[in-house]
Amino acid sequence: MKIEPGELSPEFLEKSAFHPYICSMLNSVPREDTYLQKGIRKQLVQSLRVKGIRDERVLAAIEAVPRHFFLDPAFERQAYEDRAFPIFAGQTISQPFTVAYQTQLLEIKKFDKVLEIGTGSAYQAIVLAELGVSVFSIERQKTLYDHISNFFFLKKFPTIKRFYGDGFEGLPSYAPFDKILITCGAPFIPPKLIEQLKPGGIMVIPVGGDRVQKMLRVTKDATGKVYEEYMGDFEFVPMLTGKSVNQF
C-alpha cells in the first residue's frame, strides 16, 4: 500500500504503525536525532513563540525533546507539524502548542511534584521532566502502559514514575502534589484530584463534552479555597473512569 507524504490512511494505521507488537519493537530501538530534525524543531519552537508561548523554559524543553522519537519512523516528516497525531488504543500525542500551553499554565518550578493524568505516548511527561520536576503519571490503557515500558528514551528520565490506574482516583498515597495536569477531556473536575492538590498548587484541566472542552486553571489557596480561570477552548480525547485492558 503506497502512502504519499502526509497521507495517513486508516488502513495503513491499522495494519502497520499502530500494531502493538510492531510499536513495542520499534519503541525499544534507539533512534537518531539529526541536525535536520533539530533544525526543524527550532522552527517549531519559533512558531510556538509566535502563537503566544512566552515561557522560555517551556520552549527550551520542547526544543530539547525529539518528538519524532514518539512516532513510528514512517511518520517522521509529520512529527514537527503543530498538530495532534493518533497513536493507538484510540489515543493521541497532543499538539505541541497544547503541550506547551498547558505546561506554561502550570507555572512550573524546579523540583515541583507533578501528577499527570493520561501518560499516553509520554511526550508531555518527558517535557515536564526536562523542566526539573518529579512526574507521577497515570495511564488507564494497559496497552499504552505496557508499550511505554519499552520506550528507550523514557529510560533517560528516572524522575518519571508511571502507574497503571484510574485517573479519577489520582495517587492519594503520593499526595499532595504541587501541580496536577490532566491531558484528556474530563466531564467534571474530579474531587479526589482537588483533595490531592497542595495548598498554593495549580491544576490545569480541560473540562466539557466530547468535542470541545474549556481549559481551566484551578488554584487552591492556603485555606483550601478553590478558584477557576477559563483559558480557552481545546479538543481532547475523553477522560474515562476505571482501567482498560485493550485487545487488538
Catalytic residue set? 94
Contact 109, 134 (CB under 8 A): no
Name the grid cell of 89.
Answer: 488504543
Distance, in Å, from the CA atom of 160 to the CA atom of 183, rounded to the nearest integer, reads 16
Q: Pairing relation of β-strands 160-164 and 213-220?
A: unpaired
